Amino acid sequence: QVQLVESGGGLVQPGGSLKLSCLVSVESAAILRMDTMEWFRKVPGKEHDLVASITSTGGTNYADSVKGRFTISRDNAKKAVYLQMDSLKPDDTAVYFCRTDYVIQTFDGTLVAGRTSWGQGTRVTVSS
């Protein structure tokens, strides 16, 4: 099963910066490909909102609320996706999650395509 581990959250003052990381791993299989990788955020009582996405070729897309302030990047060799968050605002307070589509090969050679489930996320609090 493909697993995600998000990290890098914390408490920051308005105007500050944080960089989130998401590492992808799998047991008993090899990751052949990660397609579009995404960052979402969630506040209590609401659904996960898409914050940013990056394709396998580096194309990016951002929610209007974070354009010009957040930057998504990926390192395929490290099987990681990052979210640099600058000029943070109190409205950015949320738990942040990553997600990716993938293709893995199990030890018996079977190819499996899928999408990761939600991990535990990393909490970002923007407050003075």
Percent of the chain's residues with pLDDT above 90 = 83
Beta strands in 13-121 (DSSP E): 18-26, 29-42, 49-54, 60-62, 70-75, 80-85, 94-106, 111-115
Read off the pLDDT of each residue in 88-113 and give the average, rounded to a whole number. 94
Residues 6+ apart with CB under 8 A from 64: none
So what's the pLDDT on residue 120? Answer: 92
So what's the pLDDT on residue 12? Answer: 98
Is 9:122 a contact under the CB 8 Å cutoff? yes
Residue at 13: amino acid letter: Q
Average pLDDT along the chain: 94
Query: Residue 27 pLDDT more than 90?
Result: no
Is residue 91 classed as helix, strand or coil in its secondary structure? helix
Is 96:20 a contact under the CB 8 Å cutoff? yes
Please provide residue 30's backbone torsions phi and psi, each rounded to the nearest 5 degrees: -120, 135
Q: What is the rounded distance in angstroms from the CA atom of residue 116 to the CA atom of residue 109?
A: 20
Q: How confident is the model at residue 25 (pLDDT cuts 50, 70, 90)?
A: confident
CA neighbor of 82 nearest in space, from 16, 14, 18: 18
